């Protein structure tokens, strides 16, 4: 009975921490989106305390700047909507292949960092979950992980959280990074085509 209570308490604490982190990431991402949308619409922005910490994702997005933003945005520590910066980089007339290469390279570097963070957390996760639950979770991820990686990286979804999670269970690195690379190329190629199509109307 004591073991059951201990395990249940740990699971509740883990869910609370993960939910709090997810809410924080969503709020931070929303703040950045609103700020950059207002910049794009040439509306005045109040000089809030967070303004100097929010990168400009709208003006003068060169491929080099896009690379830096993609590296940061690919990491779990910086919830930067790089897809927005990529879109404006294309509409500003920069080379689409070069922008795709910069964005994909940056995201891959960020995902390597995320996976390493997950590996560092692996031991702590094994303390929270019993061995039986840990290996059961690992079997489920090995079964459905491919679909999750593709979907989360093709869509503008928080794939960084997924990569950290896969690192904690020591998911196959080669499969993870190959699928991430292919999915990310698809995402930014589609975004580039959309940006080129909409460019005359912006």
What integer is the mean pLDDT of 112-117? 91
Q: pTM for the complete prediction? A: 0.68
- The per-residue pLDDT for 198 is 83
What's the chain look like in SS3?
A: CHHHHHHHHHHHHHHHHHHHHHHHHHHHHHHHHHHHHHHHCCCCCCCCCCHHHCCCCCCCCCHHHHHHHHHHHHCCCCCCCHHHHHHHHHHCCCCHHHHHHHHHHHHHHHHHHHHHHHHHHHHHHHHHCCHHHHHHHHHHHHHHHHHHHHHHHHCCCCHHHHHHHHHHCCCCHHHHHHHHHHHHHHHHHHHHHHHHHHHHHC
- The per-residue pLDDT for 188 is 95
pLDDT in tens, 30-64: 665 555 555 555 544 444 443 444 456 777 788 99
pLDDT in tens, 119-173: 887 776 655 555 566 666 667 777 777 888 898 899 888 888 888 888 888 888 8
pLDDT in tens, 78-104: 878 889 889 989 988 899 999 999 999
């Amino acid at each position: 009975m004591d073991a059951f209570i201990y395990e249940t308490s740990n699971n509740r604490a883990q869910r609370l921490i993960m939910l709090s982190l997810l809410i924080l990431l969503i709020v931070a991402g929303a703040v950045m989106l609103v700020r950059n949308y207002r910049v794009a619409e040439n509306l005045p922005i109040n000089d809030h305390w967070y303004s100097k910490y929010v990168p400009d994702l709208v003006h003068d997005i060169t491929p080099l700047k896009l690379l830096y933003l993609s590296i940061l945005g690919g990491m779990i520590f910086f919830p930067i909507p790089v897809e927005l910066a990529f879109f404006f980089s294309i509409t500003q007339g920069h080379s689409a292949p070069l922008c795709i290469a910069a964005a994909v390279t940056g995201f891959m570097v960020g995902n390597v960092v995320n996976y390493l963070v997950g590996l560092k957390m692996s031991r702590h996760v094994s303390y929270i979950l019993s061995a039986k639950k840990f290996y059961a979770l690992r079997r489920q991820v090995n079964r459905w992980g491919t679909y999750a990686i593709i979907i989360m990286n093709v869509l503008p979804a928080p794939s960084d959280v997924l990569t950290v999670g896969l690192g904690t269970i020591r998911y196959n690195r080669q499969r993870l990074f190959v699928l991430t690379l292919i999915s990310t190329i698809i995402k930014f190629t589609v975004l580039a085509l959309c940006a080129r199509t909409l460019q005359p109307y912006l």
